[in-house]
Every structure is written in structure tokens, then in C-alpha cells.
Structure 1
Amino acid sequence: MKISSTAPHSPLELSRYEHVRNRLQTLSEVTTARYGLAILSGCLIFLPYAEPRLFVTGWIAFVPLLLAIRNRGLGESWLLGLVAGAVAWLGATSWMAEFLTIFKAYEAPRNYLTASLYWLYAGNSFALVALALCWLQRHSRLPLVVLFPLVFVAVFNLYPMLFHSRLGEAQSHFLIALQAVELTGVYGLDFFLAMTSALLFVALVGPSGAHEKAWNITGVALLGLWFGYGLYHVQAWDNKIAGWEARQVGIVQPNDRVSLDIPNPAPGYSRAYPPEMAATEALAAQGAELVVWPESRYKGYFAQRNVRANYEALVADMGISLLFHDLEWERDAQGRRKSYNTVVHLGPDGHLEGTYRKIKRVPFGEYTPVVSEIPFIRRWAENYFGDFLREITPGTDHATFDAAGMRVVSRICYETAYPRFVAEGIGADAAGKILVFHSLDGWFGETNQPFMHLYSSVLRAVENRVPMVHAINNGPSAVVLPNGRISHQSAAFIDDTFVVALPYAPDAGGSLFSRFPNVFLYTVYTIFFALAAHALWRRKQGRNGKQ
């Protein structure tokens, strides 16, 4: 590394800062150290997923990886990124091993060996980020503080993941960092997480010139604006919410055991009167105006007339609104049976007020992706996933329920992982809307997955500036305010019921992101592909010049 344009200095004459820079340079030249740095990056990335109070590690997570891939070739950069990514997803989604134990009865070490295939696949998202960054650095004049966040957001979101999760969704406990996602979605938070690592990296190794210094100053200023916006709006929303009226919302958390087969009614109960209905009666007696049940395996509301009749009579007696999930079947014009994952809204008179059919399906759980249309891959998927793979027909329309004087937008299971899709349901007509999520996470056992699911959904409340209720079958269930504060969170892995006073204003709700959910991400995509096209053109011109 060039330290000065004059004659070399002795180690005693070097400043402490320059000495550190030299040590980092030496470290990045040692092969074992480079892979150690990649592993360190992976650990820093997953720590906020494992313990949200460690959110600060997400802001420095890429510094070791940037040191590791510095001055490396394309192949080694990809491999170092793969190491970092595999470690990151191993730590963040270690529950994949438990899922395989519950789903396929795999014991250790077979469950971990099988899960490692997923971790390697998911880790390739970081490998491709490192590869694209390395290539564009050779053919683009943009400084790292701009180039790295652009590459990270574009490549990371283009990579097809089985379980979508953005780095910003591990920042749920860092409220001042969340507030500006109402402008950009979680994609903007990911952008600034990557930019912060780039700024710290440049501070350690030194900028390459005055041009890069100017960009670094701009980056620091933008980061300051992001946090300044957050600092102001956390308090501003606290003050605003304090003046809202309260609606009493009940949540039922039955903690059902998961099953591939349709489960029998619990002892002492029936299809027409399940434990959730008994819990709902208790919640109604406590003053609940709206009761929410989580996602379930099967309730029988659509399939059995006596279940429908009893539900409607009981809800009418209670005089509340009820939201619950069930499987729905119907025949199409050709006589083929279609099944849907459906949320049902029963009004205070017990009548069916509306339904929402799940649109975003889980790959290999509710449908087989495009690649599985290849015969031998489809046969493998059907044999491996067996009864777990149930073809669900996607719904086509967003739905808004008028329930307990509120406008409710429901989403099912991993639909919470699609920020732009959730925002589309809020849209420009956002006044008085709330989000209600129904989930069943029992397939992942007593791991951190339900917590990870809940905390990622916190971002959806802030992005759209609406209250959010997340009912998870096995917990933790929660109520979240529009600035990301969790007003109530239940314990996990127990059956529970509770009533929460949900702050609500009929004229509040909506954000720039809910009106224009594609603007920020599509802008990043456009710049990224323009950079790639320009780099290819320059590369071609360079080759022609040599000829």
C-alpha cells in the first residue's frame, strides 16, 4: 500500500493510524487470514438475527469481507463471498436443521448435512455480490461508498431465495434506523447498512484520492440525514399515537402441533367448537372488538355446513368481528378442484363479510417453482416433499375488511416477507388501514425462526405507517405500532390469549413507500444494470484498442 509519495519512513516514524493500515494490508495478503475475515463477516451478519439487541454488528458486518476481497481475483472473491454467506445463513437460519427433523425425521448429523445444501445455496447470494463488486471495480470509476451498496441491494434482491430475508429486517430493535424505510422500504436500510461498512473500510485503508474523499463526505452526510430523520420521527410518531383512540384487539395463540394430516379436534372440542372459539368467547368477555386467529392446518369452515352455521351463530352471540384462516376448495369451469389458503372475516352479526385468498405462495410447500416443470426434477420434488407439497391456487386480488371500525388488510404466513407486495395492499388509499398477519411456524420447532419471522414483519408496519397485528400459531404473537414499537409481545411455544388496546386513527396510515413501492429498488436496479452495461462497453472498447 502506498503510504506517502516521498521516501519510505521507518516504522517508528509511522503514525499509529498508518501502522494499523499497514497491518490490515498485510492481513489481507495472507490466505488463511482472508478466509478468517470472511467467516468473521458471516458471524457479524447473523448476530442481529440471533439476538436483535446486537443490531450494531449489522453496520460493520461487511468490513472484514471487503478487506478479504481487496485486490483479489474474480474467482477468489466469489469463494470468499460464499464462505461469508454460508456462515451468515447457517447462523441466521440454523432452524433449517430442526425443520428437517420435524418434516423428514432426519436426525443429526443428517439434518445438518442436508441443511448445509440450503446454506450453501443461500450463501451464494453474498458470493455473487462479491463477484459483481470485484468485476465492477475494475471497469467502473464509482467509489466503493457508492458502488458497494448499489451492488449489494441489486444482486441480493435479484437472487432467488427460498426464505426471503433482508439485512434490515434484523434491525427491528434499532428504531431510529427504521423510520426512513417509509420512503424506501427495507431496501434503503440495506443500502445504508452496506454504505456504512464501505465508509468504515475506506477509513481503515484510506481513500484513493480527492474524488473519493468527496463521495465519502457525501455518504457520511446522507447517513446523518437517515439517522436524523429517524431520531425525529420516532418521537413524532410517539406523540401522534398518544392522541389516537384505542380499539380492543384479541389474539388467540393455540400452539397447535403441526401435522401433514388433517388433525382431529382437540379432546373435549369439535370442528364446530374448537379451542380457538372458546378462547374467543373469553376474549369477547374481556372487551375484544376484533379477534384474530393465526394460520391453521384445517378448520372445516368451508367444507362442513354445520361448522359454518355454528361459527356464525357463536360470533353473532358475541357481537364481535372474527378473522381466521382455513383451507378453501372450489371447482373451476372444467370441474377441476382448486384449493386456496384463505382468511375469513365474520362480522358482528356472524355473517361472512369477506375473504382473502393467499397470493404469494411458499415454494415446495404450496407450489413447485418453474424448474420443477422439468419432469425428473418435478418427480424428485414430489417424492421428497410428499404430502408436505400441496398445490395451492394463488389468489388474484387484495382485500380490505371493514372490521371493528378499522380497515384490515390480511396477509398469510411468508407473505410478510414481500415488502412491495404488502405495500400494494395498503396503497394510496391507506387512511384507517391496519395490517393483520396470520402465521403457522410450528414446522421450525422451538428455534429462533418464529422470532425472526415476527421481527422481520415489524418493518412492514413502519414501511406503511400503519398498526400491525401478527398472530403466530406457536408464538410469539405481537402488536406493533407504526413507528416499530412493539406494544405487546406474547411468550413463544405456549398457548396464550390476550387483549391489546391498539392505537388507531381513521385518518392515519400510508407512506411514500406504500404509494410507490417500486421506486427505490427499481432505481437501484436501473443504475446497477447501466453500470454493468457501461462496464461491458468499456471492456469491449479496451479489447478493440488492443487489437
Structure 2
Amino acid sequence: MRNGSLSLTLLALLSALSGILLSIPFLSPQHYGLSWIGFIPLLIAIEKSTGLFRIYYLGAITGLTFSISVSYWMIDFLMLSKGYGIILSTVFSVIFWLYCAQLFGFITLLFEAIKQRINVHEYFLFPLIVVSVFAIYPMIFTAHLGESQSQFLVAIQAIEFVGVYGLDAIIALTNIVIFRLVLPYLLAEHSPTHQKRYSQNKWPLGIALLLLISWFYYGWSSNLAWESKIQQWNTVRIGLVQPNETPSLKKQTLYSGYSRSLPPEMAMTQRLASIGAEIVIWPEAKYKAYLDQPQIAEAYRHQINALNTRLIFQDIEQTQNVLNPLVKQQYNTAVMLSEQGEMIGHYQKMKRIAFGEYVPFASDIPVLKRWVEGFFGSFLNEMEKGESHQVFSSELTNNAVKNNAFNIVPLICYETIFPEFVAEAVASALRKVPNTDLLVALSSDGWFGSTHQPYQHTNASILRAVENRLPLVHVLNNGPSIVAMPNGTIIFKTKANQAGGYIIDVPYEKDSQGSFFSHYPHLFIYSAYGLILFIGLCCCLKVRKKTNQSTALISARNEPLD
């Protein structure tokens, strides 16, 4: 092995330690600091190993440890959504975890393969590979290292320019810099050769340290500026309803004393309106029948008109297929009602959950679709994809700012984990209205039981508020529901698995135009993809050149002498 010898068992343990360190902040966000050193054991392991297959294997061990720790809730999810027993749920979860584990395997494989072929400095190469692989690797539930940093306010401010992708890069850069600085002391490598090798890294190290200092200085100064700015804003009084419904594959039953026309959420809305709620928001929840049954819509109209408040909620919308009237299409839809009870906003979910709301590649193939429906059972509730982003606008006549439109960008559940998608929604809204005031997300995470998944979901959504510099209200059926400010500060958070109604004065900035990332969400990540492709091309050319040289040398040796 290079630079000394470590047993395969010790290398595997180091790799597993990296997976544990990187996963802890996803489960306990107050330990966000571990992400900034989490790669170091893995980097030591691949430094002390040889062979691309072994290095891939070590990365996969990190990935497997990480994916099991972060998404242990897959077992609960399958038991609740599919009705499987513990054994079958565990089997399918293991398959999912093994697939996710390959992400880290690809990171280590690319890192080592490129280093062996061309001279690209690690301080540049490692962050670039981490960002690109995390962004491009296909997963049902996408993940980013930066999503573990929602409580590290100084670290997340600059994502208004580069999104969470930039934060992933900064975390990776910090790891590789610390690794190279402490490696000689960890492994007692003080030989003249080693010192000569790393004395040549002063310029790259200086640039890396300057970038890190700039990132955190901007974060510190920007966070202070936003805290001062937010204190001067107007507020809108928003009511949140958290029904805490238990998800079930069985036929829905109505609660005693309630009906389709008067669901429990409406009763809570009446209480919130009585204490001044200007807008009441319900989460993604059970079927309401508002969009399908005119009598239900009329009942809502009368009740909201009497309350003189606005209402945002989610429902399942059914429409007839234009080409075949016998076929009904379903949409997961968010609706906004004015204080008169009229529908003034209508948004059909665009980002659907694979194998929950649609089946990739199978939806248009009848035979395959029937097989998939039989396999996934009742949990598969196929939805059509919405066609465009929308903005909900309403005049807040009771607000301190008179006769000014209050503009809301609606999101439904899964959509909040996609940085570029949310930025595109904000940019689309700004093309329709002069300004945006609020992000509103409606979610139902009850299918994951009493696990960390809902907390992971809201922590990821907080970064969308910072990326777009807009306040965010994220309402979860089973909680925790949150209100986050544009600098990532959480000003309100409910308890999980608890029903209730809440009212919050949410600060907002009139004339907000989003952020740089809102307008150019693809710039940073597409640049990363371009650099990776360029490096890959250089690697291919270098290999081809070596092959041609070897061929020429062999030919020269085989030529007969005159």
C-alpha cells in the first residue's frame, strides 16, 4: 500500500466512521460541525489504499453507513405506505440503501481515477466532484450535504448566489484542506520527501483559505444585516392548521361531528380568523372534494366569506382526458380562496414523487403500468404533472400596507427539496407580478411515522428561504411546521405529532425581487458540470496519448536493424 500499510479492516472502519460523522448532523442539526470534518477518515482510508476497485469499495462503505443512518425511516415508510411486515420492509430498504451507497463510491472512484491521470489539485478537484455527483446522481429523495447546516446561519448566507451546491463545495473544500494540513501529524509523515511535496501547495492552500474566509465573512456580515433589516419589515398575520392525521391505505372515514363541508381544519380556521388571521394555511392532507363537488365548493365559499379571511389548502383535482373522456386525470393541487370565498389561486404540482405519484418509464406502457400498480398497491396514486408555476396574489386590506398585492409562491411537499425548481418558481412569479413576498409549502410526511424524516424535510426547505431571500411558511400535516426568515432564522416551529392551530405575525419585505440564485439557479452547477466534462476530456486525451506513445515504442523495438 502507498505511504505505509493499514489493514483492510481498519480502512473499512475509517470509511464507516466517515459515514457516521456525515450523517449525525442530518439527525441532530445542532452538531452541524461534524460535516466539516466528516470526510477526513475516508480520505485517510483512500490515501492509504491502492487499486480503484478497493477505493470504490471504501467509498461505498461510507455511503452505506451514511444512507442507513440518514434514511433509516425507509422501513417505517414501507410498512405504513405498503403494509409490508418488518422483514420485507427491511429487505427493500437494504436495496434502497445499497443503491444510495454508490454515490460515495463514485465520488472516491472519480477522485482517485482523475488524480492518477492528470495533474489537478485536490483543493479544486475534490469539491468539484462532490458537488457534481451529489447533484447528478439519480435518487428518489435527493440529498445535499448543505441540508445539514440549517442551524449554521453564518455558513448558509452565501447560498443566495450559488444555492446549496456552493455550500456542498465549501464543506468538501474544508474537509480536504483540513485533511492535508493534519495528515502529516496523524500519520507521523515528516520525511523530507513529504515536506517537499506539500511545501509546493502554498499557493493552492492560500487560495483555498482565502475562499473559506471570504465565504464565512460574508455569512457573518450578511446575517447581521438581514437581522437588522427584518426588524423593520411589515408583518402579515398567518394562521397554520396542523391536523395531525394518521395516514392509512384504508378507505377514509370522516371524524364524528364533521363533514366534507365542515372538516376539522375549517373549524380551526374559524378560531384563527376570530383572532385576526389574515391568511390561514392548511397542509397537504386527506381528500377534501372541493375541486370535484360543487356543493362542497359552495359551502367553503359561504364559510370563508363569513370569516373574512383568506385560505390556502391542498386537494386532489380530477379532470377528464381531452382525448378519451372515459379516462380521468388526477392532479395534486393547491388552491387559494379570497376573503369572499372565491378561488383566486390554482396550482397543480409539477414535481411528483416517483413510485408514489407516478412511475418512471412505465406510466405510458399499459402492461408494465398494470404490473407496477399491482406491486405498489394503494400507495401508488398516479398524478398528472402540472404545466406551470403559479403565484397567488391577494390584497391585504386589513394589513398596515393598504391596497398592495401580497404575492405568494406555492409549493407542494416534495418540491421543496429541489433548489433549482424553487428558484424557477420564484423567477416565474416575478415575471408575472412586480414582487414576491412569501414561499408557502404544503406537506404531508405522516407516511414516515415518528422518525427524523419530517425534520430533515423542513431543514432542507429552510435553505430554499435563504437561497431566494424570501420568508417561508412550511406547513406539515403531522408537524413540525415552521416559519423561516430569509436568513434562515426559524421564528416559529410547532411540535411534531400534535394537532393544533397557530397564529404567527410573519415579517415580509415589500418589493422583494428574490436573489441572484432565483434568477440564475443553473449557473453554478452547470459550470461545475462543464468543468468535470473538460477534466474528463483531458483524462481521455492523456490516456490516448500514453497509448499512442506505448504503441510507437513497441513498433520501434520490433523494427529490424539495418
| Alignment-derived partner of residue 313 in structure 1 | 302
> Cα distance, 1:333 vs. partner?
1.9
Matched ranges for 1:407-426 at <5 A: 407-426=407-426
Q: Per-residue displacement from partner, 1:356-391 (whole Å, max 9, x unpaired)?
A: 000010000011112777788655532221121122
Does the 8 Å CA contact 1:301/1:326 hold for their aligned counterparts?
Answer: yes
Shift in Å, 1:475: 0.2
Alignment of 1:239-388 (within 5 A): 239-334=228-323, 335=325, 336-370=327-361, 378=369, 380-388=371-379
Give 1:142 deviation, angstroms.
1.2
Corresponding letter in the other structure for 1:308: A
Structure 2 unaligned runs (5+)? 185-194, 397-404, 552-562
Distance 1:517 1:324 in 2: 28
1:187 to 165, 168, 173: 165
Call closer, same or farther: CA 1:539–1:379 in 2, change over 3 Å: farther
Partners of 2:209 and 2:320 in 1: CA distance: 58
Give the match for residue 444 of structure 1. 448
Other-structure match for 1:51? 28
Q: Please name the residue that 1:216 is paired with.
A: 205
User: What residue in structure 1 maps to residue 14 of structure 2?
Assistant: 37
The 5 A counterparts of 1:99-178 are 99-178=77-156
1:462 partnered with 2:466: yes
Assess if the C-alpha contact under 8 Å between 2:471 and 2:486 holds in 1: yes
CA spacing shift, 1:371–1:210, aligned 2, 3 Å: farther
Displacement of 1:301: 0.3
The unaligned stretches of length 5 or more in structure 1 are 3-24
For the pair 1:231 / 2:220, whether they are aligned, the reply is yes
Relative to structure 1, the CA distance from residue 375 to residue 545 in structure 2 (aligned partners, 3 Å threshold; closer, same or farther) is farther
Q: Which amino acid aligns with 1:172?
A: S
User: What is the aligned length?
Assistant: 524
Would the alpha carbon gap of residues 234 and 282 (structure 1) be closer, same or farther in structure 2, given more than 3 Å must change?
same
SS at match of 1:185: helix
Mapped pair 1:488 → 2:492: yes
Question: Does the 8 Å contact 1:466/1:509 carry over to 2?
Answer: no
For residues 186-213 of structure 1, give each alpha carbon's deviation from its aligned partner in whole angstroms, at most 9, with x where no partner exists: 0000001111111011112357345433
Alpha-carbon contact 2:20-2:66 (below 8 Å) kept: yes
Question: What code does the residue aligned with 1:519 have?
Answer: L
* 1:487 partner letter: I
- TM-superposed CA distance for 1:305, in Å, is 1.4
Q: CA–CA distance in 2 between the matches of 1:318 and 1:545?
A: 82
Residues in 2 aligned to 1:257 and 1:53: alpha-carbon distance in whole angstroms: 29
SS of 1:82 mapped into structure 2: helix
SS in 1 for 2:411: strand
Q: 1:238 to 1:92 in 2, by over 3 A?
A: same
Residue 539 of structure 1 corresponds to 543
Q: What is the identity, as a one-letter code, of the residue corresponding to 2:372? A: A
Question: Equivalents in 1 of 2:272, 2:106: separation in Å?
Answer: 50
Cα offset for 1:339? 0.7
**Is this contact kept in 1: 2:80–2:248, CA < 8 A?**
no
TM-score scaled by structure 2? 0.90
Structure 2 counterpart of 1:369, one-letter code: P
TM superposition shift of 1:102: 1.2
SS at match of 2:442: strand
C-alpha distance after superposition, 1:265-293 (max 9, x if no partner): 21110000000000001111111100100
Structure 2: distance between partners of 1:443 and 1:456: 18
- Output the CA distance in 2 between the equivalents of 1:381 and 1:202: 49
Distance 2:116 2:238 in 1: 56
Equivalent residue for 1:21? Answer: none
2:42 is equivalent to residue 65 of structure 1: yes
Secondary structure at the counterpart of residue 298 of structure 2: helix
- Distance across 2 between alignment mates of 1:459 and 1:273: 35
Q: In the alignment, residue 426 of structure 1 is paired with which amino acid?
A: V
Counterpart contact for 2:81–2:248, Cα < 8 Å: no
CA contact (8 A) 2:436 2:513 kept: yes
Preserved contact between residue 22 and residue 34 of structure 2 (Cα < 8 Å): yes
Report SS of the residue matched to 1:427.
helix
Secondary structure at the aligned position of 2:86 is classed as coil
Shift of 1:68: 1.1
Residue type of the alignment partner of 2:265:
E
CA–CA separation in structure 1 for the residues paired with 2:387 and 2:365: 26
- 1:509, distance to aligned residue in structure 2 (A): 4.3
Partner of 1:392: 383
Contact 1:372 1:381 in 2 (8 A): no
Is the 2:82–2:377 Cα contact (8 Å) retained in structure 1? no
- Paired residue secondary structure (2:528): helix
2:514 counterpart residue number = 510
The alignment status of 1:479 with 2:483, answered yes or no, reads yes
User: Structure 1's 397 and 375: CA in aligned 2 closer, same or farther, altered over 3 A?
Assistant: closer
Look up the SS of the partner of 2:435 in the other structure.
coil
Could you report, residue by residue, the CA deviation over 1:40-89 in whole angstroms, capped at 9, with x for unpaired residues? 00001110011000100000111111111124221111111111011101
From the superposition, tell whether residues 372 and 315 of structure 1 become closer, same or farther in structure 2 (CA, over 3 Å): closer
Distance change >3 Å, CA 158–CA 282, structure 1 → 2: same
- Letter in structure 1 aligned against 2:286: R
Retained in 1: the 8 A contact 2:345–2:393? no
Question: Which secondary structure does the structure 1 equivalent of 2:277 belong to?
Answer: coil
Report the equivalent of 1:7. none
Query: Aligned partners of 1:506 and 1:188: how far apart in 2?
Result: 28
- Kept in 2: contact 1:252–1:498 (CA 8 A): yes
Q: Paired residue for 2:70?
A: 92
Letter in 1 for 2:65: V
Aligned residues of 2:73 and 2:453 also touching (Cα < 8 A)? yes
CA distance in structure 2 between the partners assigned to 1:107 and 1:330 by the alignment = 36
Alpha-carbon shift at residue 433 of structure 1 (Å): 2.5
Q: 2:57 aligns with which of 66, 70, 79?
A: 79
Conserved? CA contact 2:426–2:436, under 8 Å: no
